[in-house]
Structure 1
């Protein structure tokens, strides 16, 4: 059977196929992991340890000569996404009621829902996509994306920084495996070669574990609004990210589009913020459902769109290269 070749025909298939499989299992039999327990449960629910090993191996595969590229790329993507979320917050506050939209196609939409969906990138999803369609340095740009984790950035955008609980050690913990791998890989070239081989292998395992945290019925519960929010997240953040990646990050836009997803951790932000600022409590529940739907929609569409965009850019650059060579010969 040509299973691998079949999976590779699907855009982002190495990540997307296991993710779908996990999501189907979680939706139809959410207690499967606990029922089987042991190693099966660890495989189905081990997103964090799988990511930890993966990030370590990813760090080990990056040459120290390329650190400037990593910081430039990650800084560009993170700052652009946060800046876009700031603009969205300002514009949305002018048009959306404080209690959110109560009816119609956009029922549940609120400033809180929009910001929570747009200010955080799914770092694991981004890294897995760039492992397939970008460079190791571009994949390593997830490092600064950990700064978006938790409610801190969302609260800064909402103008409530005084209520945010900032724990520096949490951010250090997020990048430490990557840094340790990076150090070892640059101290010993053989270690770099050895660990970097695992980066591709870890992709389907992360996809399956991530899928086992996704309930496909969330889209049905939120209706069309959840799908719309996911599409808005890709369009509103993706377009500026593509341009930023091209003209600041030095890429071709692929990394920018790959960073246009909604982070899974963002689902918790509406309720966290509402508990700190009670005025957001009336919209927190609907915002949570909408952000959860956005996570699903972007997790599915971003790998597919990035794959097609990457192929388009490679063909375009190949054509340009041929034109230049022909001109030089003539």
Structure 2
């Protein structure tokens, strides 16, 4: 724990790096079924991430919601505007097929990508309770809905809103708990440090460094 605390977001990044390293060279090491596979193979990522969204939302009482909106609304608005302008510029110069194997959809997805797990790890070390409570909002931005809206604006296509809704439900559940039972909300919030470590490991299990290197420049860009 002392080692992890020396690095910004270390409680997330160090487990993620170790997990990625192991799964890059030994991808089937933990795929033996049962509890070991459930805990260490990364198959529980959806459950862990959903738990993190709900637990962080437990600290969102009505007063905190206003503070989160005030702090992050302008930041998110500016970020989305920049993403749209750069996406339009990319398509104008390189078209939908892009260059060097980097297509417009890959560029837009990478440009608009938000890493809520890294956000959670950093604000845990440097943020205040308002920043930590914003994790659910940041997770909504990490859904595929955002890049698909931008891509659909450029090249009309069908948009699937279910990933957005599936993130919104645990967020709403957490808000309900936080505003109806403060003792339960406090108990659940105390689990967040452990959730961050498990989340880092689960995310790392899905990162194969060797595949990114084999994919060349586009793979390295997307990985970063």
TM interval, short-chain normalised: 0.7 to 0.9
Q: Quote the residue 1:7 is aligned against.
A: 4
The 5-angstrom pairing of residues 11-160 of structure 1 reads 11-34=8-31, 36-44=32-40, 45=42, 46-96=44-94, 98-101=96-99, 107-145=100-138, 146-150=140-144, 152-158=145-151, 159=153
The 5-angstrom pairing of residues 165-184 of structure 1 reads 165-167=159-161, 170-184=163-177
8 Å CA contact 1:59, 1:181 repeated in 2: yes
More helix by share: 1
SS at match of 1:32: coil
Q: Quote the residue 1:203 is aligned against.
A: 196
User: What residue ranges of structure 2 are gaps of 5+ in the alignment?
Assistant: none
SS at match of 2:101: coil
Structure 1 residues 164 and 136: CA distance shift in structure 2, 3 A? farther
Displaced runs of 4+ in structure 1, greater than 4 A? none
8 Å CA contact 1:54, 1:198 repeated in 2: no
8 Å CA contact 2:88, 2:154 repeated in 1: no
Q: Quote the residue 1:275 is aligned against.
A: none
8 Å CA contact 1:59, 1:179 repeated in 2: yes
- What is the TM-score with the length of structure 1 in the denominator? 0.60
The 5-angstrom pairing of residues 179-328 of structure 1 reads 179-223=172-216, 225-226=217-218, 290=219, 293-297=220-224
User: What residue ranges of structure 1 are gaps of 5+ in the alignment?
Assistant: 102-106, 227-289, 298-330
Aligned length: 220
- Say which of 160, 163, 172 aligns to 2:157: 163
User: Residues of 2 paired with 1:295 and 1:15: CA distance?
Assistant: 20
8 Å CA contact 2:16, 2:201 repeated in 1: yes
